[in-house]
Amino acid sequence: MIPRYTRPELGAIWTDEARFEAMREVEVAACEEMDGPTPADLAAIRAATFTVEAIAERERTTDHDVAAFVDVLAESAGPSGRWIHFGLTSSDVLDTGLALQLRRAGELILPGARRLVDVLAARAREHRDTVCVGRTHGIHAEPTTFGIKLAGFAFEAHRNAERLDRAFAQVAVGALSGAVGTYAATSPDFERRVLARLDLAAEPVSTQVVPRDRHADLLQAIALAGAGLERLATEIRHLQRTEVREVEEPFRAGQKGSSAMPHKRNPIKAEQITGLARVLRANATAGLENVALWHERDISHSSVERVILPDSTILIDYLQHRAAALVEGMTVYPERMRENLELTHGALYSQRVLLALVGGGMARDDAYRIAQRLAQQAWDEGTPLRELLAAERPELDLDEIFDPSYFTRHAGEIVGRLDEIA
């Protein structure tokens, strides 16, 4: 992932140095559980070092990065290096090292996911009673509160945090089962001991590689979390439109919205989230394609994963922090929300009119047609619906029909449900 969208802590997990270091940890843990190496051998193996440059130079000869890594690390250990990679195959080290990297990524991503829940919940409580219009199909429907809107996003963010937690847990598995996964040169007990040192679970049947449905599951959880962020960003983008202007994302001092038009304050953070969520979905598709490998294994998945696993984990980490900062700093305009409630001249109270007519004994379809006709007239002509009803249906209790608290009377209970998660 390019530096622009990479937070340093997450980016550091996916450097070549970090990748080979994870592999080194696997090799050392394996040697520590072997019967052959002496204490002196183990001391030399633990002290063995590598450089990315030396491995790259060796790979020019081997045309195999793991073999090059093993050669460099073993040479650094001296005669004791003969125990490095003893009985192992490349996938043992690659897949188990990858599990270590993914676990470390999860340790950074999951707190960010939970922080987003907390930020959304805090703003939802703040605006529990901030009345605004609810929209369906992009059209004014009935009043709601901005707190209820945000509470829905908070619960979705919580579900995504839970999914990410489960996905990172199930991908934290390793395998040291040897070629085609039969333990011909190792043993299940040896594998269990090595993985216990690394605090990883063992893959029940590895077929030499850890099955890629695990990684696909993680990529799908990441993509789904990204889709939730995109839904939030899309809402903010709409609410920031000039014609709506109920919400604006943060705009700091010195920031420029346009190189040509000084007045512009564009929803660039929300647009960025929307765009990068597409990358996460595309990567999830590639992860699904990686599941079907030939027979016990091939390496068609390997090149793909070197791109999509770093990119997806880096991006979801970046997007979560971007979204949390957006929500935390966004400006809300309650007065504009109240103004927008009047745009239809009361037409959004049409269901209340319908219920009042039906409650007074009228057939539902007849009541619907009357409410529809008057609501459309109010909207088209700009005449308040209340005035039209007063002239045509004086028997109705207009104070009750046009009481806005009817729509928001349960806001406290709905937003209060956030106590279950945040």
Q: Which CA distances in Å does 385 have to 15, 20, 334, 393?
A: 64, 71, 23, 11
Q: Is 315 helix (H, G, I), strand (E, B) or coil?
A: helix
Q: Whats the size of the chain, residue-wise?
A: 422
User: What CATH architecture is 88-336?
Assistant: Up-down Bundle (1.20)
C-alpha triplet 352, 354, 357: angle, nearest 5°: 110
What is the full DSSP assignment across 281-299? Answer: HHHHHHHHHTS--STT--S
Write down the pLDDT at residue 254: 76
**258 a catalytic residue:** yes
Write down the pLDDT at residue 251: 76
Q: Identify the H or E element spanning 64.
A: none
Q: Identify the H or E element spanning 140.
A: strand 139-145
Q: pLDDT (tens digit, 9 = 90+) per residue, 276-333?
A: 999 999 999 999 999 999 998 889 899 999 999 999 999 999 999 999 999 999 999 9
Of 137, 259, 263, 295, the active-site residue reads 137
Burial class (CB in 10 A: 0-12, 13-18, 19+), 314: buried
**Domains of the chain by residue range:** 88-336, 347-401
Burial class (CB in 10 A: 0-12, 13-18, 19+), 121: buried
Of 76, 158, 215, 258, the active-site residue reads 258
Question: Distance between CA 21 and CA 98 in Å, rounded?
Answer: 11
Write down the pLDDT at residue 283: 97
Q: Which of 233, 100, 226, 212 is nearest to 163 (CA)?
A: 226
Q: Is 30 helix (H, G, I), strand (E, B) or coil?
A: helix
- Averaged pLDDT, groups of 10, the chain, 422 residues long: 96 98 98 96 98 97 96 97 96 97 98 98 98 96 97 98 98 95 94 98 93 97 98 97 94 74 84 97 97 92 95 98 97 97 95 96 96 95 96 94 92 96 82
Residue 189, Cβ neighbours under 10 Å: how many? 10
**215 a catalytic residue:** no
